[in-house]
Amino acid sequence: MYYCIGWPRISRLPQKDPGTPVKVSCNRDRILVAVLTTDSVIIWYNKPCVPIISHRRCPSSVSELGENKLIVWKPDSSMIAVATASGHIIFYNIVVYTEVKSLYEQEDPSNPALRRESAELYFKENVPPLIFSQAFEICVPGGVTDIVTIRDELMISTNDGHILRYMWDGQMNRDYCLDLRRIPFCTDQQVLRAVPLVDEGYVREMSYSPLLGGFTVVLSDGRAAFLVAGTLKFDPNSVQGIWAGGVEDITCTAPNHKFRLMAFGRENSQGIVYSIDETTGGLEISHKLILPTKDYPGCPGPVTGLRWTPDGMCLALVWAAGGFSVWSTFGTMILCSFGWDHGNNITDPIKQAPYNILDMDWSGEGYQLWVVNSSKRRFTGTKDAEFCPFPKEGDEEDKEEPPGGYEDLSATAAEAKGDESKVSTLDRIRRLEQDGSECLEQGEYEAAERYFRSAIQMIEAAQAGLA
């Protein structure tokens, strides 16, 4: 079981006027952590948490190639690939400098009372010095929407509906590139019923799982699928897509290697997890991740991020309006930031959300969660009559919308006392009670509470008028 301990620790970027952080990614061993900003790459050592490399691109490079957008490690941690907003991939070499044993040395202060007498108080880890250099850059036709590694190659999805395959030396493996329009899709692995895509679309996000033997992908129209092939090389002629049925509002994805599950985030703030049917090969719903109303009685926006722990026992979920939660493998919520006490200065977990997470990744064995936090919310939303209104940007105050069917419940007391030609106060109270009872029968408890509260307010206002 996972429990959150202590308060978040903030790591400031070792730069003067640093750019906006956009991504964070751990290497395969989860010892090194790469933080990507709009114009730089910063590599940290995980424990102790100290910076090793800070590489910043020149303004001319940012203007020509575009701002940094995505980052991915080579499996052996010898290279890093950075995708830019203008459709370029910049490759960087990473070499360990062997002439220096450790980049940091621990020294005791001159005060004898502060000196460490036990060897247990010293870090045993040696922080390796790294040599970081730009190798080359390539231009990807069609732009870059996402990038993942498959063994010693890169799979790059583009805006024109292709999934290109590149070697780490920058050469394209044309024989193994995929075209979505030529991939047959079906609800299971019955090839005879599979048909290719009819509408134009592209892969917005994808994730590769070698144990599952394929890719989980999110298409531009909100549908999700699992791309599987009959060969380990992922030959385009044997690739087939299996639809994740029942949803068309998918925003992100994360596969679970250990339990053979596929998690997807949705626009309605929920998560949905699929498993593979061993008989037909299709995807069937395992369970859903629904935020309990006791933690937040409303919709905190679309799900923007999902990350499984390295052992596959825990899933971190992030919402666009701010806040995050941690769930067990099969759908029990372990914690949610909406219920945390942030002091008297923060009274609304959405409007004043301190957590506006852009990206995240688990460190070694899942003991730490690295996140990139933004100072601005990405979700403004619209109002929901059955729940509390969604947050708005700026200083505009939210005005609570009355239940459907009544244009102005706030003026009912004045109407009851002044205008006899309109519906009487007693009739209005009866209508509110009737609507509230109907909501109770349908299980809409929040809406029923609104009706009953309005009826009580009208009764109290009428009693005050008689007095």
DSSP per-residue codes, 49-94? TEEEEEEE--HHHHHHH--EEEEEE-TTSSEEEEEETTSEEEEEEE
Rounded CA-CA distance 435/447 in Å is 9
pLDDT surpasses 90 at 155: yes
Q: What is the pLDDT of residues 341-394, one digit of tens each?
A: 777 776 666 666 678 899 999 988 888 899 998 877 766 554 445 544 444 444
* pLDDT interval class at 274 (50, 70, 90): very high
DSSP per-residue codes, 393-456? STTPPP-PPPPTT-S-GGGHHHHHHH-TTS--HHHHHHHHHHHHHHHHHTT-HHHHHHHHHHHH
Rounded CA-CA distance 203/217 in Å is 6
pLDDT surpasses 50 at 401: no
The reported pLDDT for the residue numbered 400 is: 38
pLDDT surpasses 60 at 6: yes
Q: What is the mean pLDDT of residues 287-300?
A: 86
Pairing of strands 178-179, 162-167: antiparallel
Closest CA to 392 of 350, 342, 339, 450: 350
pLDDT surpasses 60 at 327: yes
Distances (CA, A) of 160 to 46, 140, 157, 178, 317: 38, 11, 9, 11, 29
Lowest mean per-residue pLDDT among 43-47, 249-253, 433-437: 433-437
Lowest mean per-residue pLDDT among 37-51, 99-113, 320-334: 99-113
Higher pLDDT, 410 or 433: 433
pLDDT surpasses 50 at 38: yes
Q: What is the pLDDT of residues 191-221, one digit of tens each?
A: 667 788 877 889 999 999 988 989 999 999 9
Q: What is the mean pLDDT of residues 115-141?
A: 85
3-state secondary structure of 132: strand
Helix H or strand E segment including 348: none
* pLDDT interval class at 2 (50, 70, 90): low
Distances (CA, A) of 357 to 47, 168, 217, 374, 404: 22, 30, 22, 6, 34
pLDDT surpasses 70 at 424: no
The reported pLDDT for the residue numbered 135 is: 95
Lowest mean per-residue pLDDT among 70-74, 226-230, 270-274, 426-430: 426-430
Q: What is the mean pLDDT of residues 38-65?
A: 93
The answer to pTM > 0.85 is no
Rounded CA-CA distance 169/294 in Å is 52
Class (C level, CATH) for 21-105+125-373 = mainly beta
pLDDT surpasses 80 at 122: no
DSSP per-residue codes, 85-99? TTSEEEEEEEEE-TT
Q: What is the pLDDT of residues 69-120, one digit of tens each?
A: 999 999 999 999 999 999 999 999 999 998 888 888 877 788 888 877 777 7
The reported pLDDT for the residue numbered 455 is: 78
